[in-house]
Amino acid sequence: MNLLENQVAVVTGAGRGIGRAIALKFAAAGADVVCVSRTAVNAEKAASEVKGLGRRAWAVTVDVADATAVSAAAERILIEAGRVDILVNNAGITRDGLLMRMSEADWDAVMNTNLKGAFSFTKAFARAFLKQRYGRIINISSVIGLIGNAGQANYAASKAALIGFTQSCAKELGSRGITANAIAPGFIETDMTAVLDEKARTTLVEQIPLKALGQPEDIAEAALYLAGPGGRYVTGQVLTVDGGMVM
């Protein structure tokens, strides 16, 4: 069933992991997809995969931490795609370290990508959403934004702030038919978890009632629900997809 037929979705961080899974899930559901990545190779690869599913796709290379570049990219997207219906702010980085040793540069890098990037893209498309009286904003937060984590003060702060930003957007834009929601993934099999050794993985799994790490497709399914007709009356919410880890 083409739940997203005739819609255009913008997915940041679409080059790999969760972002790639969301881009492909949306394409399979009938959407045309703008694949945003910081690296041209990743953006092009994701766009090629979307086209392989029979949908239109655009590869956009931009560092979401650069507000000026984001604004210019959004203008080009609206011209080339004609419209945008769904925005998924997924791009994110980690720069882990204990608080006492964390540099200002590592703090700023994480905040600028994970939080400012979502702000910049949402602001860039808000006017178009308001004009068409329709839009779906989905921000990818994290369970770490709900419970914190030692050695990730910057990441936890950015993901917690993203939830507050989401709720503010929901209240500010809701009267025009625009929803804004967050997804808080638990520990998902991505490049970020691939570096863990077996002992660390076992420790993680023991914290999860379902006794397994999640897959990027699990987050993509949640995003499809929020972007599709089933999410019409859902806004300002945090959908936690974590195997029961946070409850």
Residues that are catalytic: 155
Helix H, strand E, coil C: the string for the chain is: CCCCCCCEEEEECCCCHHHHHHHHHHHHCCCEEEEEECCHHHHHHHHHHHHHCCCCEEEEECCCCCHHHHHHHHHHHHHHHCCCCEEEECCCCCCCECHHHCCHHHHHHHHHHHHHHHHHHHHHHHHHHHHHCCEEEEEECCCHHHHCCCCEHHHHHHHHHHHHHHHHHHHHHHHHCEEEEEEEECCECCHHHHCCCHHHHHHHHHCCCCCCCECHHHHHHHHHHHHCHHHCCCCCCEEEECCCCCC
